[in-house]
């Protein structure tokens, strides 16, 4: 440094280095500057970047009740996901300085992060009246529309941003390309998002979400495994990826890791009363198979998810796991997503709900609609055993008969024999039509077991004694 150069230049250099992302160099330069409020604010932010809690608290104590220091504190609150604390500071500053219109955008951003999209939109509208061409504000407005309405509404808002952005405005161009992928449900994700991973923080997360939606769980895991989570969204996504991979490969370790990520969010003071926080606690307890606790949390937010198929899928499973089969059935039937409806977990739970509520025929129809596969074989076993337990012997017999044909060397004959005898008992008790015995005879004749002829003789003797025609 030249002798005539002021020592304060070091802190100005440090600020420039900070904005270039050269944090270690920024810290070194700042340490050579004389103590000042600007130096303290810069070191405060550097401590956050370095995750140094002790240093962070030290510089926090040096902050004063002046606008610059309070804005610095609010920004740290925002980056640490303490959005309500940031809002409180911004609102207090707005009361003192009504012409600080940009603070409206910061408040709107905080409300967006808290999922209060309508409130965010109201606050943002005030700013846009004065600054209708603001890139940040128009982008946030589009994001609010995406959350409040749908991707098409968001894309329409983003068009305004596209129209006003100059060709040299690289940040806006990258932001627009990223958000269009999100608004279009992942269209073009593999072309747009990978180059943006180190440019826009959300690009990595949205690419992970894209892989999950494509059922490429391993690729999603590869992309996120080294990410050290610092926001609730990152913790949640890491939880979802670990849970998906754990279920796919049958690993309890991944499921335990997922449970811990969900618990970190749901148990935190800042997130415990938010909708995502409660969903996280429900997911945590779901993985622990504590379904009573799952329902406590899901019941508290179900009003927001009436038509959400994923929510209803988990909600119905929790109800069914606790034996609330009638209620579970109704929720399962609300689901419209074909991918979920063709999933074996959905089909098996719905079949069980039908059987437990004395609707064995509907469970059997679910099986008839399936193609031949290991899943259809498993569903057949479920129908056979559950119908038998519930005394719905007719469909138990049909299921055991189908199983016996698929695996002749097994002991399914014993199940079929018991079910056929069960049907006969129901006929004797006038709880089943004697007409059903005609099909029982047909089912019995499908077996080559020597006991068949004896059972048929018993049935025919009863029919003859009661003047019932079975042939």
Residue 1, pLDDT score:
59
- Lookup: tokens for 147: 């959350």
> How wide is the angle at C-alpha 172 spanned by C-alphas 168 and 177, nearest 5°?
115
The rounded distance, in Å, linking the Cα atoms of 256 and 283 is 12
User: Tokens 């923080």 belong to which residue?
Assistant: 201
pLDDT(170) > 80: no
Residue 8, pLDDT score:
87
Of the ranges 79-83, 360-364, 431-435, the best mean pLDDT one: 360-364
Residue 166, pLDDT score:
54
pLDDT band at residue 3 using 50, 70 and 90 as cut-offs: low
- Comparing 467 with 153, the larger pLDDT belongs to 153
Residue range 36-50: average pLDDT?
A: 95
Residue 81, pLDDT score:
82
- Lookup: tokens for 69: 């220091």
Residue 25, pLDDT score:
95
Q: Spell out the SS3 assignment of the chain.
A: CCCCCCCCHHHHHHHHHHHCCCHHHHHHHHHCCCCCHHHHHHHHHHHHHCCCHHHHHHHHHCCCCCHHHHHHHHHHHHHCCCHHHHHHHHHHHHHHCCCCCHHHHHHHHHHHHCCCHHHHHHHHHHHHHHCCCCHHHHHHHHHHHHHHCCHHHHHHHHHHHHHHCCCCCHHHHHHHHHHHHHHCCCCCHHHHCHHHCCCCHHHHHHHHHHHHHCCCHHHHHHHHCCCCCCCHHHHHHHHHHHHHHHHHHCCHHHHHHHHHHHHHHHCCCCCCCCHHHHHHHHHHHHHCCCHHHHHHHHHHHHHHCCCCHHHHHHHHHHHHHCCCHHHHHHHHCCCCCHHHHCCHHHHHHHHHHHHHCCCHHHHHHHHHCCCCCHHHHHHHHHHHHHHHHCCCHHHHHHHHHHHHHHCCCCCHHHHHHHHHHHHHHHHHCCCCCCCHHHHHHHHHHCCCCCHHHHHHHHHHHHHHHCCCCCC
- pTM as predicted: 0.79
pLDDT(259) > 90: yes
Residues 6+ apart with CB under 8 A from 407: none
pLDDT(469) > 90: no
pLDDT band at residue 168 using 50, 70 and 90 as cut-offs: very low
- Lookup: tokens for 4: 């005539």
pLDDT per position as a tens digit, 110-150: 999 888 999 999 999 999 999 988 888 999 999 999 999 99
């Amino acid at each position: 440094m030249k002798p005539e150069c002021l020592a304060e230049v070091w802190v100005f250099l440090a600020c420039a280095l900070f904005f270039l992302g050269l944090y270690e160099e920024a810290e070194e330069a700042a340490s050579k500057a004389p103590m000042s409020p600007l130096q303290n604010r810069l070191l405060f932010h550097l401590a956050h970047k370095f995750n140094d809690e002790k240093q962070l608290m030290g510089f926090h104590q040096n902050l004063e009740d002046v606008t610059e220091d309070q804005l610095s504190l609010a920004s740290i609150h925002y980056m640490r996901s303490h959005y309500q604390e940031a809002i409180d500071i911004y609102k207090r500053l707005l009361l003192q300085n009504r012409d600080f219109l940009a603070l409206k955008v910061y408040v709107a951003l905080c409300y967006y992060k808290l999922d209060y999209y309508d409130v965010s939109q109201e606050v943002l509208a005030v700013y846009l009246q004065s600054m209708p061409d603001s890139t940040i504000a128009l982008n946030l407005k589009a994001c609010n529309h995406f959350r409040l309405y749908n991707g098409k509404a968001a894309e329409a808002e983003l068009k305004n941003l596209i129209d006003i952005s100059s060709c040299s405005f690289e940040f806006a161009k990258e932001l627009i390309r990223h958000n269009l992928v999100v608004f279009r449900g992942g269209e073009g994700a593999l072309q747009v998002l990978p180059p943006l991973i180190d440019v826009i923080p959300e690009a990595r997360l949205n690419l992970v979400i894209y892989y999950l939606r494509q059922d490429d769980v391993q690729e999603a895991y590869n992309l996120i495994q080294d990410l050290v989570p610092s926001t609730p969204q990152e913790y949640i996504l890491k939880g979802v990826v670990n849970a998906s991979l754990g279920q796919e490969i049958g690993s309890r370790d991944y499921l335990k890791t997922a449970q811990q990520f969900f618990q970190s969010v749901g148990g935190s003071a800042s997130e415990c009363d938010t909708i995502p926080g409660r969903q996280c606690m429900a997911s945590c307890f779901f993985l622990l198979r504590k379904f009573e606790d799952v329902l406590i949390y899901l019941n508290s937010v179900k009003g927001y998810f009436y038509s959400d198929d994923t929510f209803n899928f988990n909600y119905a499973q929790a109800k069914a796991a606790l034996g609330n089969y009638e209620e579970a059935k109704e929720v399962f039937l609300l689901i419209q997503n074909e991918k979920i409806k063709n999933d074996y977990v959905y089909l098996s739970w719905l079949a069980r709900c039908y059987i437990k509520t004395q609707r064995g025929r509907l469970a059997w129809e679910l099986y008839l609609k399936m193609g031949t596969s290991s899943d259809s074989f498993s569903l057949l076993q479920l129908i056979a055993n559950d119908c038998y337990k519930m005394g719905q012997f007719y469909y138990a017999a049909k299921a055991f008969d189908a199983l016996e044909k698929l695996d002749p060397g097994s002991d399914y004959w014993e199940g079929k024999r018991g079910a056929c005898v069960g049907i006969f008992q129901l006929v004797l008790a006038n709880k089943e039509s004697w007409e059903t015995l005609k099909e029982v005879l047909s089912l019995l004749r499908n077996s080559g077991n020597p006991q068949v002829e004896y059972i048929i003789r018993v049935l025919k003797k009863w029919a003859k004694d009661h003047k019932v025609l079975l042939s």
